[in-house]
Amino acid sequence: MTVLRLFTRPSCLDNFYFASALVFLGFRISKFGLKIYVSDFVNLIPGLRVLISLKQHRAVFLDRDGTICEDVGYLNSVEQIQLIPRAAEAIRRLNEKGFKTVMVTNQSGVARGFFPESRLKEIHFELTRLLREEEAFLDGVYYCPHYPDEGEEPYRRICECRKPAPGLLLQAAEDLDLDLPASFMIGDHYSDVECAQRVGAQGILVLTGHGQEALLKKENWPSLPSIIVPDLYEAVRWIIFNGEKG
């Protein structure tokens, strides 16, 4: 669910009455402040949707392999990391424009036993370091280590975080206060596009990585991406151009 924190320190009686009314409508209060869990109730309060749009952040979700870095097939060491040309520059432009930039990636190599989860964390640490060297920053890194048909518990299971399931995006939205319908997902698989569409975001297919293979199966797509572009940099150019145009 999408989350908005209205009051970080609710201490006055007026806030208490307002919070009580929202709880009656199905919202919640945490010890850190009043949180609104956005649902159909949003339409019951005039002006609330405007308030949410002012408070929440637009985000660009990025796949990892084939989008940010070269897809080497179950990348399992930091030495294999190779940034795709202009990927860091694209992320830097998103940073400059105020988008939350979040990497979301399926990593079934953990479930399949190709590498431990600790190795995956080392790889992500190095990847973010390489990006920082080019003044490009990720606001979050989310991954799914599961696979439904192979591996051992607890990784062998059907989950809600393996794309195209939207679990990673939903978790990031809660953690970072993101406006999912105003956000974008960029990846080289159609599952990235479908994942975006499941939460009302725009899905963009890049032709790096497995993008060309995905394009060959276009006739099987239930719906089209918002746009198909050569790489991450061109996807970001399109996002920024349309954002400024709007």
Sequential DSSP letters for 189-226: SHHHHHHHHHTTPEEEEESTTTHHHHHHTGGG-SS--S
Mean pLDDT of the chain: 84
Instruction: Determine contact, residues 116/110, Cβ cutoff 8 Å.
Output: yes
Contact 228, 215 (CB under 8 A): yes
Confidence (pTM): 0.78
Residue 147 pairs with which residues in a beta bridge? 156
Note the pLDDT tens digit of each residue in 130-177: 999 999 999 999 999 999 999 988 999 999 999 999 999 999 999 999
Return the structure tokens found at 169. 């995006």
CB atoms within 10 A of CB 171: 16
Q: What is the pLDDT of residue 45?
A: 52
Q: Tell me: pLDDT of 36 over 90.
A: no
Q: Angle, nearest 10°, between helix axes 87-96 and 117-133?
A: 70
Count of CB atoms situated within 10 Å of the CB of 150: 11
Over 90: is that where the pLDDT of 9 sits?
no
Spatial distance between the Cα atoms of 144 and 72, rounded to a whole number of angstroms: 18
| Strand 33-37 versus strand 3-7 pairing type | antiparallel
Name the band, by pLDDT with cuts 50, 70 and 90, for residue 54: low
Q: Residue count of the chain, please give it.
A: 246
Specify the DSSP class assigned to residue 208: T
Rounded-to-integer distance, Cα 34 and Cα 228, Å: 40
> Which has more pLDDT, 34 or 78?
78
Strand partners, 3: 37
Residues 69-93 have a mean pLDDT of 97
Q: What percent of the chain has pLDDT over 90?
A: 74
Residue 106 β-bridge partners: 144
**Dist. CA 113–CA 182, nearest whole Å:** 37
Structure tokens of 44? 């019951």
pLDDT > 80? residue 10: no
Sheet holding 100-106, edge to edge: 140-144, 100-106, 59-62, 184-187, 202-206, 227-229
List all residues 6 or more positions away from 196 whose beta carbon is below 8 Å from its beta carbon.
61, 169, 183, 184, 185, 202, 203, 204
Spatial CB neighbours of 70, under 8 Å, sequence gap ≥ 6: 82, 83, 84, 209
If one looks up domain 59-245 in CATH, what number appears?
3.40.50.1000
What ranges do the domains of the chain cover?
Answer: 3-54, 59-245
pLDDT tens figures, 190-212: 999 999 999 999 999 999 999 99
> What does the longest C-alpha to C-alpha distance in the chain come to?
61
Which residues make Cβ contacts (< 8 Å) with residue 151, sequence separation at least 6? 108, 110, 111, 112, 113
Strands 140-144 and 100-106: parallel
Dig out the tokens for 213 from the structure: 């293979």
- pLDDT bucket at 55, cuts 50 / 70 / 90: low
Q: Per-residue pLDDT for 38 more than 60?
A: no
